[in-house]
Amino acid sequence: MSIKRVGVIGGGQLALMMAKSAEKLGVELVIQTPNKDDPAVTIAQSTIFAPINDAAATATLATRCDVVTFENEFVDLAALAPLAEQGVCFRPSLEVLSPLLDKYHQRCYLQQIGLPVPKFATLENVSEPWQFPLVLKSRRHGYDGQGTFIVKDADTLHQLTNAGKKTSFLVEEFVPFVKELAIIAARSPNGEIVTYPVVETQQKNQVCHRVIAPADISTELTNLIQEMAGNLLHNLQAVGIFGIELFLVGDRQVLINEIAPRTHNSGHFTLDACEVSQFEQHLRAVCDLPLGNTSLRSPAAVMINLLGYEESENDYLVKRQQLAALPNAFVYWYDKKTSRLGRKLGHVTVLLDSNTDAEEVAQIIESIWYV
């Protein structure tokens, strides 16, 4: 069956950035998202305005498309299950999402298939006195570091867990990483798997600020990470794009921090720096088309998130023009109507030759944006 309409649960910037690829592949996007101002509403063929976890709305979405995919994993799997039983085609499937949506379940799954993860436990089952700092994470609905706390002492731990009495928490060791890395990988329904170059991600206060492609790591490490990504997608029998975040400890140990079952911020550089972007690749996978070439088109690239630094309705046009005037720069603006602290408003990717320092370029961009 040739797939012509893809339903997307979630209408944020990840859905918005699928638009160009959808057009290229001759596919229409139908979106389920709560607000009329959400970024992807303007590019959708049609939109169902409803919360992400509204399964009745997804039933309607499914009547308008051939396959349903996700740009946001805050869905209610139990409520979606009857739809899958009635024949709605979810890609990735609900079985694939099931071990991934809760951070504790995800850690258990990764451990079970032999992939390395930090030491972890549920808050209720912390059996031994753990050393501080430790990391406390809400098991569900965390994003951009919200719900992740680096806890330095017992008092703070009590305060946080008392304040979040209704939240289920995961506790894990604080990993003294040298670098954070990430890899984007895709799998098609017939089992074809492709991986993108491993990147370095740089976080401040648990929020991603910069991505450098490729990461400055050994070929052995790159091969190991690509192999881990391939094993994971094969084990899951996943379909679509997956973002995998990792910690590099010392110079050769890697631990998996998190799996995102969708396109991912660490892959935005692929829009300009790779032959086929993560957004096109995701659509290729969910539409059962042959997967595309993941190679870099320039020796390197740096991606800087444009994060909100104030409450405002400014569209920052002048700054965007200044950024776009930089050599080899590509500016993406998500058209969110309001800015607030830490909100992802857009990003810039700069293609680099082998002599240009990513750090210098990142500083120039940040000095324009955050002034």
Which of residues 34, 116, 156, 174 is near ligand ADP by CB under 6 A? 174
In angstroms, give the least distance from the CB of 30 to ligand ADP.
27
Asked if 320 interacts with ligand ADP (CB under 6 A), we say no
Write the CB contacts of 198 (distance below 8 Å, at least 6 apart in sequence): 181, 182, 183, 214, 215, 217, 221, 222, 225, 226
My answer on whether omega of the bond before 34 falls inside 30° of 0, hence cis, is no
In angstroms, give the least distance from the CB of 72 to ligand ADP.
13
Residues paired with 243 in a beta bridge = 184, 260
Asked if 73 interacts with ligand ADP (CB under 6 A), we say no
Give the residue from 228, 134, 151, 135 showing the smallest Cα distance to 185: 228
Asked if 309 interacts with ligand ADP (CB under 6 A), we say no
Calpha distance 173→130 (Å, rounded): 8
Task: Choose one: 20-28, 139-147, 221-229, 359-367; the region binding ligand ADP (CB under 6 A).
Answer: 139-147
Which of residues 145, 292, 299, 342 is near ligand ADP by CB under 6 A? 145
Asked if 167 interacts with ligand ADP (CB under 6 A), we say no
Asked if 258 interacts with ligand ADP (CB under 6 A), we say yes
- In sign, the C-alpha dihedral spanning 19, 25, 26, 32 is negative
- Token pair listed for 354: 């082998």
In angstroms, give the least distance from the CB of 134 to ligand ADP.
8
Binding mask 79-118 for ligand ADP (x = CB under 6 A): ---------------------------------------x
Write the CB contacts of 52 (distance below 8 Å, at least 6 apart in sequence): 9, 10, 32, 33, 34, 72, 74, 75
In angstroms, give the least distance from the CB of 342 to ligand ADP.
11
Asked if 148 interacts with ligand ADP (CB under 6 A), we say yes
Asked if 203 interacts with ligand ADP (CB under 6 A), we say yes
What is the β-pairing status of strands 28-33 and 5-9? parallel
Strand order in the sheet with 46-49: 46-49, 28-33, 5-9, 67-70
In angstroms, give the least distance from the CB of 298 to ligand ADP.
26
Which of residues 135, 199, 215, 233 is near ligand ADP by CB under 6 A? 135
Write the CB contacts of 259 (distance below 8 Å, at least 6 apart in sequence): 100, 106, 110, 232, 242, 243, 244, 245
The string of DSSP letters for 215-242 reads: -S--HHHHHHHHHHHHHHHHHHT--EEE
Asked if 245 interacts with ligand ADP (CB under 6 A), we say yes
Asked if 144 interacts with ligand ADP (CB under 6 A), we say yes
Radius of gyration of the chain (CA): 20
Task: Choose one: 171-179, 227-235, 321-329, 349-357; the region binding ligand ADP (CB under 6 A).
Answer: 171-179
Residue 272 CA, chain-centre distance (Å), reads: 17
Query: Closer CB to ligand ADP, residue 203 or residue 222?
Result: 203
Asked if 172 interacts with ligand ADP (CB under 6 A), we say yes
Give contact residues for ligand ADP (rule: CB under 6 A): 118, 135, 137, 142-148, 172, 174-175, 180, 203, 206, 245, 257-258
